[in-house]
Amino acid sequence: MTDRVIAFFVFIAAVPLIDFPAYKRMPFKGAAIYVVLMISALYLGYIFITGAALPNITDLISFIYGGPAEALMRMFKPNE
């Protein structure tokens, strides 16, 4: 777990540090999306470190498209 914690903090610290010079000229919309993306990264980082079974993008995609996709898969099954 220690290796994951170190790796995650390196990743999460590197991005804002590298982008620091760009902050001043970033428009509001860009800054807002930037913050949203960083918060998403923190959430995913928590899952990465703890291995918690929290909702992820695959759960969202399965929730939206899972039903019709599975129905289609059943249609493709060969007749026994």
CB of 50 to other proteins, least distance (A): 10
Contact 39, 15 (CB under 8 A): no
Which parts of this chain interact with other proteins (CB under 8 A)?
A: 3-4, 7, 11-12, 15, 18-19, 22, 25-27, 29-30, 33-34, 37-38, 40-41, 44-45, 47-48, 53, 56-58, 60-62, 65-66, 68-70, 72-73, 75-79
Radius of gyration of the chain (CA): 19
Buried b (16+ CB within 10 A) or exposed e, 33-47: ebeeeeeeeeeebee
CB of 36 to other proteins, least distance (A): 9
